[in-house]
Structure 1
Amino acid sequence: MTFYLKERLSSKLKSIINTPSVGVRAAIINKQHQILLIKHTYREGWHMPGGGLAPGETPIQGISREVKEETNLHIESAAVVSVLLNKWRSQHDYVILFKVIQFTGSPCINDPSEILDIEWFNTNQLPEDITINTRRRIEEIISGEPNNGHW
């Protein structure tokens, strides 16, 4: 619950002072062409791992940290797929989406107070309760179709 409150407070403060934030997400795809998704304890649906950048952190440092914290995987290399605008709760966020196919480790939940579940899914059999924007980003990555610039 503390993650949810921290996220809501941070979002509200940023919207009051009109400060955009930068976040990162990782489409982690294994050799079986499955994608790794997580469920948070404080947010509905399945999502790609990721989160906000810390002050002074580069995008690759941020996605490496977030993936390690949320999945226990170590990213060996990641490629930027797109940079998207996310208008959420009257706040302007920018999301840097990475595709990760080179990683080490086995996924597991490091912090059960933040992550409820973690699972590999076939990209053509995504879970019903995946968020619509997560589904769209995965479909764009798999098909190679361009996105509209919005999360």
Structure 2
Amino acid sequence: MRTNVPGGIRVVGRTDGGARVEAGRLAQGQHPEALLARHGWRADRAVGADLAADGALELAYVVSRLSGIRPGEVDVPRDPDVAPDEAGDPYQRVAAYAVVRSDRGLLLTQYNDLTHVAGSWGLPGGGLDDGESPVEGVHREVWEETGQRIELGGLAEVQSSHWIGRAPNGVVEDFHAVRIVYRASCPQPTDTTVHDVGGTTADARWVPLDLLGELSLSAPWHHVSELALGSP
């Protein structure tokens, strides 16, 4: 399995009493909530994403005891242009993003034609480099894509998506995306500049919150509560 986090992903829980719960390593295509559920825990909210001493990325959740029937496995969706008999190359990619606010609005980036969602908008951020922590990665990515220096707040959420699709180079991938999303502020916003020439960012923009509905957001950001509610 290809991955940009060679140490792998470990999922842990923290109970209300402060006890640590080890759920184990996150397999290709497995969602953190499902892994915790297999061990009898419900993921109430994500609270941490840090590199551990052994090189693993540790995702931490506040958990409570799971009651009732544990969730089962779900079918892996395929893009329309991928035939049922095509096998994908497994790829688990961890990326860090930020919901960045300033007195100029919300910071968004537009995808270019190196992606399947050219023209749509999303949060600044991207894949981690080898050995890079999510905090380091999100600061680097926001600067590369927008030219802004930010101050991070808390962890907003962790997303996990799994599908089989065709990469821009035509290769079929069994793709597992793990997205770590932070809250952030920009005390000294400036006009945006895309430094990452040759990357996937076509444009970057400060968008007033009352105009957010006029932009087409890519699928991962449709249900991010920080965007939907316009919360600080």
Give me the whole-angstrom Cα distance separating, in 2, the residues matched to 1:103 and 1:64: 14
Q: Find the aligned partners of 1:83 and 1:68 in 2 and give their Cα distance.
A: 21
Residue 29 (structure 1) aligned with residue 101 (structure 2): yes
Q: Distance in 2 between matches of 1:124 and 1:86?
A: 29
In 1, Cα distance between equivalents of 2:124 and 2:145: 7
Shift of 1:103: 4.6
Q: Distance in 2 between matches of 1:53 and 1:98?
A: 14
Q: Which has the higher helix share?
A: 1
Q: CA RMSD in A?
A: 2.3
Per the normalisation by structure 2, the TM-score is 0.49
| Partner in structure 1 of residue 144 of structure 2 | 69
Determine the C-alpha separation between the residues in 2 that align with 1:52 and 1:36.
Answer: 18
Amino acid at match of 1:141: E
Does 2:183 align with 1:99?
Answer: yes
1:51 deviation in Å? Answer: 0.6
Contact 1:72 1:105 in 2 (8 A): no
- Give the alignment of 1:1-151 within 5 angstroms: 16=89, 18-32=90-104, 34-41=105-112, 42-43=114-115, 44=118, 45-88=120-163, 89=165, 90-106=174-190, 107-114=192-199, 115-126=201-212, 127-137=214-224, 140-142=225-227, 143=229
Aligned residue-pair number: 127
Question: Which runs of no fewer than 5 residues in structure 1 stay unpaired?
Answer: 1-14, 146-151
The 1:91/1:103 distance shift into structure 2, 3 A limit, reads: farther
> 1:22 deviation in Å?
0.9
Q: Deviations over 1:66-108 (max 9, x none)?
A: 0111111122333210111022433111100011114545221
Sequence identity, in percent?
A: 24
Report Cα offsets for 1:100-121 as digits up to 9, x if no partner: 1145452212234333211111
TM-score by length of 1: 0.71
Q: In the aligned structure 2, how far is the partner of 1:123 from the partner of 1:135?
A: 15
Unaligned runs of 5+ in 2: 1-87, 166-173
The answer to which structure has the higher strand fraction is 2
Deviation per CA, 1:31-66, whole angstroms, max 9, x where unpaired? 35x211111322321111111111111110000110
